[in-house]
Amino acid sequence: MASPSRWRDDATGTIQTPPTNGAYGWRRAIRGGLTSMSLSFRECGRPVSDTDVMWLESELNMVVPACYKTFLRNANGGRPTPACFPIKGMQLNPYGVIQFFFGIDMEWECYDISWNARTLAGRIPDGLLPVACDNSGDIICLGVFGTYAEQVVFWDYYDEQPDPTKAGRNVYKVADSFSAFLNSISDEGTMEARFA
């Protein structure tokens, strides 16, 4: 998979160049402050432009938050390191582990945002955009409108509700925003998540 040859670091204004091994790091410089922790990604999608993001919004008929647009332009999906995040209110499984962040025009259809949005339509609550998955088939979603607007939530595949009137009973809050979600990703809880 191709990765950007260079990009501007929003915090410092300096030009960054990825390592030659095909993976590149992306510091958390998304409108929530810069932390000392880094996320790195493998198997990223091709570089995307503002035009690609506008095409995605048009195809899905929704406007995504600015911080998520920034994420797509900088990473466009991939396998993150670290990958563990807290799940609020899910007592038997308080941590999740991200397998893959979805991207635009991904080589593997199952990691494409548009494909996941179409596949999960009618199964996940309205207003949720699937943005990542874990190894078990659970989906991490970003609220773009409605009840979960701006929030990141965990959709529990194993507790899917076939009755539309009960939709949302298998949805657990992860973070108040996409920036807060990225800042919550760490190695903490990895062992607990594996054995939950």
Enclosing H/E stretch for 95: strand 95-101
* φ, ψ of residue 118 in degrees (nearest 5): -70, -45
Q: What is the pLDDT of residues 151-193, one digit of tens each?
A: 999 999 888 877 756 667 889 999 999 999 999 999 876 545 5
Which residue did the predictor score with more confidence, 33 or 94? 94
Neighbours of 94 (CB within 10 A): 15
The residue-averaged pLDDT of 1-7 equals 42
pLDDT for the residue 93: 85
First to last CA, the chain: 33
Q: Considering only the top CATH level, what class is 7-194?
A: alpha beta
Block residue for tokens 């209110």? 89
Query: What whole-number distance in Å separates Cα of residue 171 and Cα of residue 99?
Result: 18
Closest CA to 82 of 35, 45, 116: 35
DSSP code at position 100: E
* φ, ψ of residue 147 in degrees (nearest 5): -55, -40
pLDDT for the residue 97: 95
Whole-structure pTM value: 0.78
Q: Please state the three-class secondary structure of 128-196 as a single string.
A: EEEEEEECCCCEEEEECCHHHCCCEEEECHHHCCCCHHHCCCCEEEEECCHHHHHHHCECCCHHHHHCC
Q: Using CA atoms in the order 101, 35, 24, 87, what is the torsion angle rounded to 10 degrees?
A: -20
pLDDT cut 90: percent of the chain above it: 60
